Structure 1
Amino acid sequence: MMVNSFSQFESPVFLTIPLFLLALILPWAIYPSPSPRWLSNRTLTLQNWFIGRFAKQLLASSTPKVHLWATLLDSLMLYIISLNLLGMLPYTFTPTTQLSMNMGLAHPLWLRTVLVGFRNQPTLSLAHLLPEGTPTLLVPVLIIIETISLLIRPFALGVRLTANLTAGHLLIQLIATATYAFMSIMPAIATLTSMVLLLLTLFQIAVAMIQAYVFVLLLSLYLQENS
Structure 2
Amino acid sequence: MTVSLFDQFLSPSYLGIPLITLSLALPWVLYPSPSSRWLNGRLLTLQQWLMARFAQQIFEPMALAGHKWAMMLTALMLYLISLNMLGLLPYTFTPTTQLSMNMAFAVPFWLATVIIGMQNQMTFSLAHLLPEGTPTPLIPLLIIIETISLFIRPFALGVRLTANLTAGHLLIQLTSLASFVLTTMLPPVAFFTVTLLFLLSLLEIAVAMIQAYVFVLLLSLYLQENV
RMSD over aligned Cα atoms: 1.1
Q: Distance in 2 between matches of 1:119 and 1:36?
A: 43
Give the structure-1-normalised TM-score: 0.97
Q: Deviation at 1:35? A: 3.6
Question: What is residue 136 of structure 1 aligned with on the other side?
Answer: 136
How far apart, CA to CA, are the structure 2 residues paired with 1:151 and 1:34?
40
Q: Structure 1 101/81 Cα, relative in aligned 2: closer, same or farther at 3 Å? A: same
Deviations 1:143-171 (A, max 9, x none): 00000000000000000000000000011
* SS state at 2:33 partner: coil
Range with bigger deviation, 101-110 or 33-42: 33-42
Deviation of 1:49 after TM superposition, in Å, equals 1.5
Deviates more, 1:29-38 or 1:158-167: 29-38
Q: Which sits farther off after the overlay, 71-80 or 45-54?
A: 45-54
Report how far residue 60 of structure 1 moved.
2.4
For 1:193 and 1:44, how far apart are their aligned partners in 2?
A: 37
Contiguous gaps of at least 5 residues in structure 1: none
Secondary structure class of the residue paired with 2:45: helix
Looking at structure 1, the residues matched to 55 and 38 of structure 2 have their Cα atoms a distance apart, in angstroms, of 22
Q: Which residue of 2 aligns with 1:177?
A: 177
Residue segments in structure 2 that go unaligned for 5+ positions in a row? none
Q: Secondary structure at the match of 2:139?
A: helix
Shift of 1:57: 1.8
What is the identity, as a one-letter code, of the residue corresponding to 1:145? Answer: I
Partner of 1:156: 156
The answer to whether 1:145 aligns with 2:152 is: no
Q: Give the corresponding residue for 2:212.
A: 212
Distance 2:173 2:110 in 1: 33
Task: After TM superposition, give the deviation of residue 13 of structure 1 in Å.
Answer: 1.0
Identity over the aligned pairs, expressed in percent? 66
Q: Does 1:104 align with 2:79?
A: no
TM-score by length of 2: 0.97
What's the offset of the Cα at 1:36? 5.5
Q: Secondary structure at the match of 1:132?
A: coil
Is the counterpart of residue 89 in structure 1 residue 89 in structure 2?
yes
Corresponding residue number in structure 1 for 2:57:
57
Partners of 1:93 and 1:106 in 2: CA distance? 20
Instruction: Please tell me the residue identity of whatever aligns with 1:216.
Output: V
Aligned partner of 1:188 in structure 2 is: 188
Please give the residue correspondences for 1:11-90 in structure 2 after superposition, counting only pairs within 5 Å: 11-35=11-35, 37-90=37-90
Amino acid at match of 2:80: I
1:202 to 1:49, Cα distance in 2 relative to 1, 3 A? same
Q: Which residue type is aligned with residue 22 of structure 1?
A: L
- CA displacement at 1:37 relative to structure 2: 4.2
Q: Is the 8 A contact 1:62 1:224 kept in 2?
A: yes
Query: Aligned equivalents of 1:102 and 1:92: distance in 2?
Result: 18
Partner of 1:10: 10
Runs of 4+ in 1 over 6 A off after TM superposition: none
Q: Is the 8 A contact 1:34 1:44 kept in 2?
A: no
Alpha-carbon distance in structure 2 between the residues aligned to 1:195 and 1:48 = 34
